[in-house]
Amino acid sequence: MENLFCKEQFHKDQVFAHAWTLAVEEQFYIFWAFIILLIRPLRPFMRATVMIFLIGLSVVYRLHMFAIRDMDLMSKSLSANAYALLSGSALQLCWQPLPKWTAHRWTGYTGQVMFVGVVMAMRVDSIVYSGAIWGPFITTVATMLVVLASAGQGNFILENSILRYMGRTSYSCYLWHHVLLWLTGLFNQVTIPAMGVVTLSLAIAHYSTIYFEEPIRELYKDTLWFKEQKQKLAASKKLLPS
């Protein structure tokens, strides 16, 4: 959607410009592997304190980038986006077992309403600029609510077969659609040809997911190490209180 409607031009410069989001995530995974070794042995209170401190640092840095109007660095740097990844990690590290209220379906519904509200608000030109700062914060909270609810009783909306399929193929579609729009020169065009390219990317994503990505993941899941870790996790952790 962004590559069709966004008025900014930085996406048009390079065929792999959209990979900046993957770069942020990969950088986080590299640093997080070392950070978690230091955080995991701590007592729950200290663990939560450290996570809140790290999340706060990222939020303050993002607000600073917004204040000096460095929107490019605010959007693409790890420091300005780590708060969202850290918030998700904190759910597992600091909030076990989960409170019973998190399993209520209305927790998930609240998150979904927040998602819709952010999307609708961002379509209003007068607040798009400020939305670049509050939009991601609200989206992070909404995601946490949806994850919490889904970990309990589940969410019949998100578990719909159509939405599950969209989630299954979304990563491949993300990788393919930018390349195809770049090759065809159809950025920022809400036209029938542009929609056709997006449709083509959906078709390619379907086959690349089923015949390439998922077989590779299955090979990983067949490894002895993965099976042992899964058994250890099942034996030592209960997501919800009994």
pLDDT at 156: 67
Percent of the chain with pLDDT over 70: 77
Please write the tens of the pLDDT for every residue from 189-224. 778 888 898 899 999 999 999 998 888 888 877 777
206: left (phi over 0), alpha (psi -120 to 50) or beta: alpha
Task: Return the ∠ at Cα 238 (arms to 233 and 241), rounded to 5°.
Answer: 170
Within 8 A by CB and 6+ apart from 223, the residues are: none
pLDDT at 75: 74
Q: Which residue has the higher pLDDT, 20 or 115?
A: 115
pLDDT at 153: 62
Cβ neighbours of 122 (radius 10 Å): 15
CA–CA gap between residue 76 and residue 5 (Å, rounded): 19
Torsion of CA 20, 117, 62, 18, to 10 degrees: 10
Please write the tens of the pLDDT for every residue from 43-87. 888 988 999 999 999 999 988 888 887 777 777 788 888 899 899
Please write the tens of the pLDDT for every residue from 1-46. 344 434 444 455 567 777 777 777 888 888 888 888 888 888 888 9
Residue 62's nearest CA partner among 71, 53, 49 is: 71
C-alpha 2, offset from chain centre: 15
pTM beyond 0.85, yes or no: no
Within 8 A by CB and 6+ apart from 105, the residues are: 149, 153, 155, 156
Residue 9 DSSP code: S
pLDDT at 8: 46
Please write the tens of the pLDDT for every residue from 97-112. 667 776 677 887 888 8
* Average confidence (pLDDT) over 86-93: 86
C-alpha 83, offset from chain centre: 12
Which helix (H) or strand (E) segment holds residue 97: the answer is none
CA–CA gap between residue 116 and residue 7 (Å, rounded): 21
**pLDDT-wise least confident of 79-88, 179-188, 206-215, 231-240:** 231-240
Cβ neighbours of 84 (radius 10 Å): 22
Amino acid at 118: V
Q: What is the CA radius of gyration of the chain?
A: 20
pLDDT at 71: 75
Q: DSSP letters along 105-160, please?
A: HHHHHHHHHHHHHHHHHHTSHHHHHHHHHHHHHHHHHHHHHHHHHHHTT--TTTTS
